[in-house]
Amino acid sequence: MSTHATPQQAEPGGAATPGGRTEFTRTFALGAAVLMLVGGVCGILTGIASIARNVLVVRTPQYTYALDLTVWGWTHLVVAVLLLVAGVGVLRGASWARGLGITAAALNIVAHFAFLPHFPVWGLVLIALNGIVIWALVPYRPDGTRPAPADRGTAASSPPA
């Protein structure tokens, strides 16, 4: 029995590397798709509640981003539909869904930041979950391609003469 461990080579483009093709990256992106679907359904419910009867939503006086709650309801509804479409697209492996998911999650972060006085705990939870969605989708490439490595000006990266 040997006490020496054999060193293992790290896989190029691992899970923490943008463009990595590991199972972890793929599984994490599928988890993000499920989070987008759940966030989309919750956003639709929030939007409908704000549009239908804005007395259901707690009102705070003298807030910097004071808009009519009906406007916030429509905002949440539109972003929620984008999240749903992106979530379904990521589950199906569509290449466009990654960009749409990142964009929709970023818009959802902004919308919930502005909605914080009305539902502070709910807003903070959804901001964190949208951050996780963005983090999961950035390295994910549904088509299996990797981005080209950055040219660092080394001799190894220069074309042969």
**Domain contains 94:** yes
**Domain contains 12:** no
What span, in angstroms and rounded, lies between the C-alpha atoms of 34 and 46? 18
**Domain contains 92:** yes
Q: Domain of residue 63: give its range.
A: 36-143
**Residue 149 carries which side chain, given as an amino acid letter?**
P
What span, in angstroms and rounded, lies between the C-alpha atoms of 15 and 140? 9
**Domain contains 24:** no
What span, in angstroms and rounded, lies between the C-alpha atoms of 57 and 50? 7
Q: At what angle do helices 95-114 and 120-137 cross, to 10 degrees?
A: 160
**Domain contains 89:** yes
**Domain contains 15:** no
pLDDT in tens, the chain (161 residues): 555 555 444 445 444 555 445 677 788 888 999 999 999 998 898 888 878 876 555 555 665 555 677 888 898 899 999 999 999 999 998 889 999 999 999 999 998 888 787 778 988 999 999 999 999 998 887 766 665 555 445 545 445 55
> Model's pTM, two decimal places?
0.70
Helix, strand, coil fractions of the chain, as percent rounded to 5: 60, 0, 40
**Domain contains 11:** no
